[in-house]
Amino acid sequence: DAGVTQSPTHLIKTRGQQVTLRCSPKSGHDTVSWYQQALGQGPQFIFQYYEEEERQRGNFPDRFSGHQFPNYSSELNVNALLLGDSALYLCASSLRLTSGRPHEQYFGPGTRLTVT
């Protein structure tokens, strides 16, 4: 049973460009969350998807957008890249919220994005 997979592993982009990161959740999971982790810091919540809709969003600008497909896989898109967008982007899958209680999140290996 494959866990959470992400692609690509590493990516180098130039300021102003656009990037798309991909995530396949763990089998049986229907909820995908995206996080940005800068070096030496904790993961920062970007947004969460289930039933193909964005359900929650963190404090990130509209340059960050996403999508969830019918097979529960997800994409994170970032437009007009800034140097400060350089970070590890983590995808986490889980079961959806149950009775107000979150389930454990399974993280993928991440995509290391470098903006030059």
Partner 1 sequence: GQQVMQIPQYQHVQEGEDFTTYCNSSTTLSNIQWYKQRPGGHPVFLIQLVKSGEVKKQKRLTFQFGEAKKNSSLHITATQTTDVGTYFCAGFKAAGNKLTFGGGTRVLVKP
Query: Which residues contact partner 1 (rule: CB under 8 A)?
Result: 33, 35, 41-45, 48, 55-56, 58-59, 90, 92, 97, 100-102, 104-110
Number of H helices, E strands in the chain: 0, 11
CB of 109 to partner 1, least distance (A): 5
Q: Which residue lies nearer to partner 1 by CB, 75 or 97?
A: 97
Backbone φ, ψ for residue 85 (5° rounding): -80, -5
Q: Which residue lies nearer to partner 1 by CB, 81 or 91?
A: 91
Alpha carbon 75 to its chain's center: 7
CB of 92 to partner 1, least distance (A): 8
Closest CA to 62 of 73, 46, 49: 46
Q: Which residue lies nearer to partner 1 by CB, 13 or 109?
A: 109
Q: Are strands 111-115 and 106-107 parallel, antiparallel or unpaired?
A: unpaired
CB of 108 to partner 1, least distance (A): 7
